[in-house]
Amino acid sequence: MDLVPNLFGSTIGRKLIMAVTGLLLILFVIGHLVGNLQVFEDPDKINGYAHFLQSLGPTLWAVRIALLVVVGLHIWAATVLALESRHARGDEPYAVRRWLRATFASRYMRWTGYVVLAFIVYHLAQFTLGYAQPDSFKTNLAHYTMRSDYHVLGITVVRAGTEVLDVRTMVIRGFSNPLVSVFYIIAVGLLSLHLLHGAESLFQTLGLKDDRWAAGLRLVVTLGCAAYFLGNLSIPGSVLAGILR
């Protein structure tokens, strides 16, 4: 059987692409949040962590390119599936709205998706490329000198005394602008709603949703998304509240 054309050329194949790319993106955003929460620890932590990621060189580029491909496939599959289902139910203005019984999160997948995409573009411009707030971009700040070693899985990856970029100060200065912080909070709120419906659909597509544990699954996914939102909110929120300085 020719698996690749089937994956791209059939509805179930595209749903599978949505589910698998969605799962990879969920793993990325959770990993990114866990890494970012080090901002609440000693400055050595988040700065050592960012330096370690930058030092990965070609591996970092491979991950970046893989992420771009995954995001591209996710958007492509979502678009084709949406066009297909619109075509299947016809486009008359008075057509019965099938989503009447759907949840808020599921109805607005497309719109929450657009906002998340716009957020990612802004976020890269801000923290990766330095276009959005150049004065507080990491390469325009004084270097930070590591006071202790930074370890990953017990291995020393950044030594005390190394001069690294001050990512912690960049993040705090960035979020000192209330407009930026509020935009982040709204975007991660919508991302959490996107994940809420996405995670449930993912279980369904992969055949892991069963009537017996559907309610339990919904509870676990809801709590997980709420925790994800609060974790992300805590960073700009703490800067705005003056707790993180």
Site string for ligand HEM, 195-214 (x = CB under 6 A): --------------------
Which token pair is 109? 């997948």
Q: Give the DSSP letter of residue 148.
A: S
Strands (E) located in 27-154: 144-145, 150-152
Is residue 84 within 8 Å of 183, Cβ to Cβ? no
Distance CA 30, CA 228 (A): 7
CB of 163 to ligand HEM, least distance (A): 15
Which token pair is 90? 């016809």
127 contacts ligand HEM (rule: CB under 6 A): yes
128 contacts ligand HEM (rule: CB under 6 A): yes
Which token pair is 172? 């705090």
SS (H, E, C) 73-132: HHHHHHHHHHHHHHHHHCCCCCCCCHHHHCCHHHHCHHHHHHHHHHHHHHHHHHHHCCCC
User: Which residues fall within 8 angstroms of residue 239, CB to CB, at 6 or more apart?
Assistant: 171, 172, 175, 176, 181, 245
109 contacts ligand HEM (rule: CB under 6 A): no
Q: Is 28 or 76 the residue whose CB approaches ligand HEM more closely? A: 28
CB of 89 to ligand HEM, least distance (A): 30
Q: Is 85 or 128 the residue whose CB approaches ligand HEM more closely? A: 128
171 contacts ligand HEM (rule: CB under 6 A): yes
Distance CA 156, CA 154 (A): 7
54 contacts ligand HEM (rule: CB under 6 A): yes
Select from 19, 20, 115, 167 the one that contacts ligand HEM (CB under 6 A): 167
Q: Which residue's CB comes closest to ligand HEM?
A: 127
Site string for ligand HEM, 60-89 (x = CB under 6 A): ----x-------------------------
49 contacts ligand HEM (rule: CB under 6 A): no
Distance CA 197, CA 200 (A): 5
193 contacts ligand HEM (rule: CB under 6 A): no
User: Which residues fall within 8 angstroms of residue 229, CB to CB, at 6 or more apart?
Assistant: 188, 189, 192
Q: Is 12 or 121 the residue whose CB approaches ligand HEM more closely? A: 121
Distance CA 86, CA 110 (A): 13
Span from 83-91, 96-104, 119-127, 197-205 in contact with ligand HEM (CB under 6 A): 119-127
Binding site for ligand HEM (CB under 6 A): 29, 32, 36, 50, 53-54, 64, 116, 120, 123-124, 127-128, 138, 167, 171, 184, 188, 191, 232, 235-236
